[in-house]
Amino acid sequence: MSGETVTEAVLAAVAEREGVDVKDLHQSLYDSISPEALDKLFRAGPVEVTFEYMDYVVTVDNDLEVELESK
């Protein structure tokens, strides 16, 4: 993994898809998942997580590959 956290990777992917800066996302990630718990889970070992955030079903893996599917 790079120096980027899972949370940062997810927010960057959603912001890119929305065409806005991360700081301009209209919904907090906390509304969907705990960013701290998400980052901690990925530090613990190989994992893939899927959750809903904004208008997307987000899937992220250990390589910080973020897949976004519209809900």
Structural domain includes residue 40: yes
- Is residue 1 in some structural domain? no
Q: Is residue 1 very low, low, confident or very high in pLDDT (cuts 50, 70, 90)?
A: very low
Q: How far is CA 50 from the centre of its chain?
A: 9
Domain count, the chain: 1
pLDDT per residue over 8-38, tens digit each? 999 999 999 999 999 999 999 999 999 999 9
> CA–CA distance from 18 to each of 41, 50, 55, 65, 70 (Å)?
26, 19, 10, 17, 12
pLDDT of 2 reads 63
Write down the pTM of the prediction: 0.90
Parent domain of 54:
6-70
| Per-residue model confidence as pLDDT tens digits over 30-49 | 999 999 999 999 988 899 99
Query: Has residue 23 been placed in a domain?
Result: yes
